[in-house]
Amino acid sequence: MHRRLIAPGALAASLVLLAIPASAADFLPGAPGAGDPYYPDAGNGGYDVSHYDLRLKYQPKTDLLEGTATIQATATQDLSRFNLDFGLKVSEVRVNGKKAAFARSGEQELEVTPKTGLPKGSSLSVVVRYAGKPSEVKIHGFTAWQRTPDGGVAAQEPESSAWWFPGNDHPRDKATYDVSVSVPDGTQAISNGVLQSQSSKLGWTRFNWRSNKPQATYLATLAVGKFDITTDKTENGLPVLNAYSKDLGDNAGAARASIERTTEVAEWLEEVFGKYPFNALGGYVPNVPASYALETQTRPFYGPKAFANGSNVSIVVHELAHQWYGDSVSVDGWKDIWVNEGFARYSQWLWSEKEGEGTAQELADYVYANNAADSPFWQVKPGDPGPDNQFHIAVYDRGALALQALRNEIGDKAFFRILKGWPKERAYGNATVRDFVTYAEKVSGKPLSALFDTWLYQTGKPGAPAARDAGVARSAGAEAPAKPKSWKKIAATNSLHDHEDEHQHGAGKADGH
């Protein structure tokens, strides 16, 4: 046997190396982003969150929010450091009970360095203590927190959580939530899910909310103010809670006339998309100067201006459709926004069909005919629109055209089997546009890549024969399609992304989220 001679100094060095765990060199910082090309600093790598426990106190008069966030997570790599997306001032961070070092970097990164490395697969309990005025915190030049005359509201897309709790702010990392909020007596705190309890002490009232199904961070919401609240239960026993600011002025009646139909709309959507996926229903309208709406999970947000021209059940249909398409089945990356918005818009077309105000086919004909070949409408690719066009009208209307083309290609039986089967197959998960195409091909038994390529990925107005094959092109000399009766209500929702312009995440916005 040949033995290599080792000098004494080298032997000592080798003994030192042997004293270090072999995996120590593999402990590396988690990525500062989730890898989404649309929003490179959104989300983080290295861990997966399972639950957020948020204990908050908010003073409407001063906009001061104080909080303790306890985050339950699992390390997905050997982790030396990890990031949270957050904007408020932090006073202390603990990881698994021990104080951790923390520092700021970039626009929204809170870098946390635990005392010891976190092995892959190990559990993390992260406690963050913080305080600040959310309306004064700017990330990418804007704040997602809106102050109201009697409180404040967190409801934005694609990001809003960093203004009120630390987290992994990307739809790919969904978690359950307990949100406990203390506010001055006479004021209410509205959040997602079910109100578990409410109690008052020394001039403050605490509201405890629970969302027991996976929820993306941007779908978490908080509204503090003075509300008129209505409650009910569905036939299946789900609690329904709607909240209306006491000072909505002329929009109050139209808002109620729309949102009080939430149960009816949800029961109809169950016929189309299958069983409702969450533990509560409802909606809320705070007194903010916004016209947009957002599918915050179980309890959509509606800006008062959405009802400036009267009641609009169509926007309620849109936001509730998102509970299946967008909330339960969420985007894998933000380029996959069509799997949210194309289906929510098509649900409005189906509601129109149900109400006898224009079939989905008539709406498709009208959209196709009324967007000229040289319109920017046909230059946006719904399947990958780019961050500046993420909420462009084409993602909605051209996205819905793609679904009508699919329906015409495979027939109603297979089409509605897909609409109901997809949310069941992908429940509480994430998906890409390609995932949906693959699923539609499996269910229908037909090759569909060319059809989706035409309607989702090609620029330019699809001409004959593609448009005729899709059933939306008129023959030469045919009269232009009449405007469906429902078009006015559907089009009234087309300005509901005005808030995107506030933070430059998009242009040419369309509809309620």
**Position 14 pLDDT exceeds 50:** no
In terms of phi and psi (left: phi > 0; alpha: psi -120 to 50; beta: otherwise), the region of 185 is beta
Identify the pLDDT of residue 468.
76
d(CA 90, CA 5): 55
Average pLDDT, the chain: 92
Tell me what the mean pLDDT of segment 394-399 comes to: 97
**Position 21 pLDDT exceeds 60:** no
Tell me what the mean pLDDT of segment 200-212 comes to: 98
The structure's pTM equals: 0.92
pLDDT band at 480 (very low <50, low <70, confident <90, very high): confident
Amino acid (one-letter) located at 266: A
pLDDT (tens digit, 9 = 90+) per residue, 77-103? Answer: 999 999 999 999 999 999 999 999 999
Could you give phi then psi for residue 392, rounded to 5 degrees?
-70, 150
SS3 annotation, 239-285: EEEEEEECCCHHHHHHHHHHHCCHHHHHHHHHHHHCCCCCCCEEEEE
292: exposed, middle or buried (Cβ count in 10 Å: 0-12, 13-18, 19+): buried
Strands 151-154 and 222-225: antiparallel
Identify the pLDDT of residue 466.
73
215-240 in b/e form (b: 16+ CB < 10 A) is bbbbbbbbbbbbbeeeeeebeeebbb
**Position 190 pLDDT exceeds 60:** yes
Tell me what the mean pLDDT of segment 457-475 comes to: 80
Quote the distance between the C-alpha of residue 58 and its chain's center. 24
Structure tokens, 157: 């897309």
Identify the pLDDT of residue 26.
86
| Residue 379: other Cβ atoms inside 10 A | 14
Contact call for residues 29 and 154 (beta carbons, < 8 A): no
Strands 188-191 and 222-225: antiparallel
197: exposed, middle or buried (Cβ count in 10 Å: 0-12, 13-18, 19+): exposed
Identify the pLDDT of residue 478.
65
Identify the pLDDT of residue 7.
38
pLDDT band at 479 (very low <50, low <70, confident <90, very high): confident
| Residue 187: other Cβ atoms inside 10 A | 20
Structure tokens, 493: 């929702």
Identify the pLDDT of residue 471.
80
pLDDT (tens digit, 9 = 90+) per residue, 222-236? Answer: 999 999 999 999 998
| Residue of 392, 384, 267, 404 lying closest to 335 (CA atoms) | 384
Identify the pLDDT of residue 89.
98
**DSSP state at residue 455:** I
Contact call for residues 490 and 353 (beta carbons, < 8 A): no
Cα-only R_g, the chain? 25
Q: Is 246 helix (H, G, I), strand (E, B) or coil?
A: coil
Least confident of 96-110, 220-234, 498-512: 498-512
Tell me what the mean pLDDT of segment 4-13 comes to: 38
d(CA 433, CA 303): 29
Q: Which residues contact 55 (CB under 8 A, 6 or more apart)?
A: 67, 68, 69, 70, 180
Identify the pLDDT of residue 492.
84
From 1.10.390.10, 2.60.40.10, 1.10.10.10, 3.30.43.10, which CATH number describes the 330-501 domain? 1.10.390.10
Q: Which CATH superfamily is domain 27-136+153-216 in?
A: tricorn interacting facor f3 domain (2.60.40.1730)
**DSSP state at residue 40:** T
7: exposed, middle or buried (Cβ count in 10 Å: 0-12, 13-18, 19+): exposed
pLDDT band at 59 (very low <50, low <70, confident <90, very high): very high
d(CA 179, CA 295): 18
pLDDT (tens digit, 9 = 90+) per residue, 124-140? Answer: 999 999 999 999 999 99
Identify the pLDDT of residue 22.
38
d(CA 431, CA 447): 20
Percentage of residues in the chain with pLDDT exceeding 90? Answer: 86
pLDDT (tens digit, 9 = 90+) per residue, 43-54? Answer: 999 999 999 999
Identify the pLDDT of residue 148.
97
In terms of phi and psi (left: phi > 0; alpha: psi -120 to 50; beta: otherwise), the region of 150 is alpha
- By residue count, the chain amounts to 513
Tell me what the mean pLDDT of segment 333-341 comes to: 98
pLDDT (tens digit, 9 = 90+) per residue, 277-301? Answer: 999 999 999 999 988 999 999 999 9
pLDDT: which is higher, 419 or 467: 419
Least confident of 231-240, 408-417, 491-500: 491-500
**Position 355 pLDDT exceeds 80:** yes
H or E element, residue 227: strand 227-233
Contact call for residues 111 and 104 (beta carbons, < 8 A): yes
Structure tokens, 141: 């030049």
d(CA 474, CA 414): 25
Domain ranges of the chain: 27-136+153-216, 330-501
| Residue of 290, 56, 286, 289 lying closest to 152 (CA atoms) | 286
Place of tokens 């799997």: 339
Identify the pLDDT of residue 143.
95
